[in-house]
Chains A and B, each alone.
Chain A
């Protein structure tokens, strides 16, 4: 299995809702990432997990809460989001840890989130 899967593909939520995004990879990768991508912009890094531990948090608001239950699974819990949080949320994984040479990341198809 050489892909990263994400569910759901689309999500519409109100500002008072609580929802979760899910990401899964079965390539034995040691690092997993969450990115946020607004329209016509490059992805922006949100979080990095290395060996299931949070290693990078790019000053993301607390209404986004990541979780890594095991080496294959990465969740992003959402609570009290704002309309400006509407975006494509991408998950990625890499064989090696951040900072290793030529450490390509494999991206999932993303979850299109709309906050009403």
Chain B
């Protein structure tokens, strides 16, 4: 069975400092992993996805994530936070249940960015 755990419900950083949003997954298969971002009252936007081609995945807006199989982690990082990064971030694993796969969402991490 697949599952995903976001270790922090809220992360607060100052503008210009690094961002780390933590995610651990559980999967019986080689997982499909995604990070989505949701700004207030908006839909979800894909930041990046793990496709097994490379363990370090680069996404939009300067975000990247590293797939670590030994640690079952897929943490999201950014070297320097911007005010516009303030949003809710979801780590997602794709569920395989026969032909009825769908997305399993973590509970989300709210990122606040202080001036």
Interface residues in chain A, defined as those with a beta carbon under 8 Å from any beta carbon in chain B: 4, 6, 33, 40-43, 45, 48, 55-56, 88, 90, 92, 97-110, 112
- Name B42's contact: one of A41, A97, A98, A109 (CB within 8 Å): A109
Q: In the bound complex, how far is the Cα of B38 from the Cα of A40, in angstroms?
A: 11
Summed over the interface, the residue pairs from A and B with CB atoms below 8 Å come to a total of 64
Stretch touching chain A among B18-26, B63-71, B77-85, B99-107 = B99-107
Decide: B32 and A42 in contact? CB cutoff 8 A.
no
* A105: B residues at CB distance < 8 A: 46, 103
Looking across the interface, which residue of chain B has its beta carbon closest to that of A106? B46
B45 neighbours in A (Cβ, 8 Å): 107
B49 at interface by CB-CB < 8 Å:
yes
- Measured between alpha carbons, how far is A92 from B51 in the docked complex, in Å? 20
> Could you show 24 A-B contacts with beta carbons less than 8 Å apart?
A4-B43, A33-B102, A41-B107, A41-B108, A43-B105, A48-B100, A55-B99, A55-B100, A56-B100, A88-B41, A99-B96, A100-B101, A102-B51, A103-B94, A103-B101, A104-B34, A104-B49, A105-B103, A107-B36, A107-B45, A108-B43, A109-B43, A110-B43, A112-B41
Chain B, interface size: which category?
20 to 34
- Assess A45 versus B32: contact at CB under 8 Å? Given A102-B49, A109-B43, A110-B42: no
**Chain A interface main SS type:** loop
- Are A48's CB and B49's CB within 8 A? no
Give the shortest distance, in Å, between B28 (CB) and chain A (any CB): 14
Asked whether, in the complex, the Cβ of A102 is within 8 Å of the Cβ of B99, the reply is no
* CB of A58 to closest CB in B, whole Å: 9
Q: Which residue of A lies closest to B94 (CB)?
A: A103
Q: Is B7 engaged at the interface, CB distance under 8 Å to the other chain?
A: no
Partner of A42, one of B43, B49, B108: B108
Known: A102-B32, A104-B49. A56 touches B102 (CB 8 A): yes
Check A90 against B43 for contact (C-beta < 8 Å): yes
Convert B3-37 into 0s and 1s, putting 1 for each residue whose CB lies closer than 8 angstroms to a CB of A: 00000000000000000000000000000101010
The answer to whether A104 touches B46 (Cβ under 8 A) is: yes
- Cα distance A107–B96 when bound, in Å? 20
